[in-house]
Amino acid sequence: MRTGEREDDGEEPPDGAPYVDGAWGRTANPNTVEGELQNLAAFGSGLARMSGPRRTAAKVVVWLILIGTTIAIIYEAVGIFQLW
């Protein structure tokens, strides 16, 4: 069974079109470093556009992730140095 495929269903945006960072406008594979950086940039621009309680909640979540990562790194470093 053949489905109706459109020619513009590709990953690349058409020539002359403005860049759109979305599910269909991505130019980098999300499983690569470039794709991760592109996702982080999209998250940052989305966070910058937020306002009010949603922005505050997003900032709290980001800070909790950063604090948790820092605690884990310190805990592992202390564990490594205790082995010596």
* Domain boundaries defined on the chain: 1-49, 52-84
Q: Which ranges of 1-84 would DSSP assign to H, the alpha helix? A: 33-49, 53-83
- Residue 57 in tokens: 């909640």
CB-hemisphere CA count at 13 Å for 64? 6
pTM: 0.53
Residues 6+ apart with CB under 8 A from 36: 30
Q: H or E element: which one contains 15?
A: none
pLDDT in tens, 18-65: 555 555 565 677 788 888 888 888 888 888 888 999 999 999 999 999
